[in-house]
Amino acid sequence: MMRSQVSRWILNTLLPLAVMVAVVGLWQLTIVVFDIRKFIVPRPMEVFEALRSLRVELAAATARTALAAISGLAISTALGTFTAFAFAQSSLVRRAFYPYAILFQTVPVIAIAPLIILAFGRGFHSVTLVASVISVFPVVTNTTTGLLQIDNQLHELFRLHGASWWQTLWKLRLPSALPWMITGIRIASGVAVVGAIVGEFFVGSSQPGLGAWIQRKTASADLPALYATIIASTLLGVVVFAVLTWTGDFMLRRWFGTKLDGGSLQR
């Protein structure tokens, strides 16, 4: 049993690593075979060199973007949860606004970002706003679903004992919705990072995060630095998502005494 666990761990770690090595090898090979110029696709070594030499500046830019994304996520979590409560409480409000909550999710961030920046000006606050505007919807839809998906018999139990509106909310709806809410925030986290980077793309040097870097390095055709920035952006997204997933898992474990997948509560 121990052996199979170890070998599974080795497989799970080594296989993706092998794929990465293969992709980098293929990258290098393609450049050599087709004689691709440096200003079209940089060599892997050049990108690694850029990552190494720019690490301090890149880390600072990543931190700036991370702050904007996390601030945006915090706003969308608060706002999204509040909206979801309104939706869960009144079917009239839900009927009126819920279709738009779903519709707005499909509007591309790249189209909204310039409008927001035009209205609110350049700077950190606008980037945060872009991040929150596009990440609010996963929180709204998931939390609303969670608040409404209450086990019917549990609801009857609360009614049987004359539970007040407040008691039902606090002791039944809110804890039942928690796994859904966490799922919503997890999805929102990835979107918030994308939103922050796209926002920075438009505000330029007033918020010198990863988005501004991408824009600047594209303009100066500094391909190794551009590739390095893309890698940093990806890592930021992965780290934010992983931290939230881990925190959410930990909370649910503490809360329910067991790991839960998705929103399933009982049985």
Partner 1 sequence: MARSMIESGARNEGTQLRLTDLCAGFDGTDIVNLASLQISAGEFVSIVGPSGCGKSTLLRIIAQLLEPSAGDLDIQTPRGRTDIRTGFVFQDATLLPWRTAESNIRLPGELEYSSVSTSRVRELAQLVGLSSSDLLKRPAALSGGMKMRVSLARALALEPDLLLLDEPFAAVDDLLRHQLQTDVLRIQQNLRITTVMVTHNVAEAVYMSDRVVTLGGAPANITSETTIELEQSADLRSSAAFARCMGRVMSALRDTECG
Site string for partner 1, 231-260 (x = CB under 8 A): ------------------------xxxx--
> Among residues 44, 89, 105, 175, which is the contact residue for partner 1, using CB under 8 A?
175
Taking the complex as a whole, the smallest distance from the CB of residue 98 to partner 1 amounts, in Å, to: 24
Say whether residue 267 binds partner 1 (CB under 8 A): yes
Q: For residue 193, which of 243, 240, 263, 139 has the smallest C-alpha distance?
A: 240
> Among residues 154, 169, 230, 231, which is the contact residue for partner 1, using CB under 8 A?
154
Token output for 235: 């890592």
Say whether residue 266 binds partner 1 (CB under 8 A): yes
d(CA 266, CA 264) in angstroms, rounded, equals 6
Say whether residue 262 binds partner 1 (CB under 8 A): no
d(CA 110, CA 118) in angstroms, rounded, equals 13
Token output for 203: 């505000």
Taking the complex as a whole, the smallest distance from the CB of residue 80 to partner 1 amounts, in Å, to: 22
The dihedrals phi and psi of 211, each to the nearest 5 degrees, come to -60, -45
* Residue with Cβ nearer partner 1 (57 or 151): 151
**CB-based burial label for 155 (10 Å; 0-12, 13-18, 19+):** middle
Say whether residue 150 binds partner 1 (CB under 8 A): no
> Among residues 29, 102, 157, 243, which is the contact residue for partner 1, using CB under 8 A?
157
Taking the complex as a whole, the smallest distance from the CB of residue 174 to partner 1 amounts, in Å, to: 10
Taking the complex as a whole, the smallest distance from the CB of residue 27 to partner 1 amounts, in Å, to: 47
Say whether residue 115 binds partner 1 (CB under 8 A): no
Say whether residue 147 binds partner 1 (CB under 8 A): no
Taking the complex as a whole, the smallest distance from the CB of residue 161 to partner 1 amounts, in Å, to: 4
DSSP 204: G
> Among residues 160, 165, 219, 262, which is the contact residue for partner 1, using CB under 8 A?
160
Q: Are 150 and 178 in contact (CB under 8 A)?
A: no
Taking the complex as a whole, the smallest distance from the CB of residue 166 to partner 1 amounts, in Å, to: 11
Category of 35 on φ-ψ map: left (φ > 0), alpha (ψ -120 to 50) or beta: left
Say whether residue 151 binds partner 1 (CB under 8 A): yes
**CB-based burial label for 184 (10 Å; 0-12, 13-18, 19+):** buried
Say whether residue 108 binds partner 1 (CB under 8 A): no
Q: Are 130 and 113 in contact (CB under 8 A)?
A: yes
d(CA 227, CA 223) in angstroms, rounded, equals 6
Residues found near partner 1 in the complex (CB under 8 A)? 151, 153-154, 156-163, 167, 171-172, 175, 255-258, 265-267
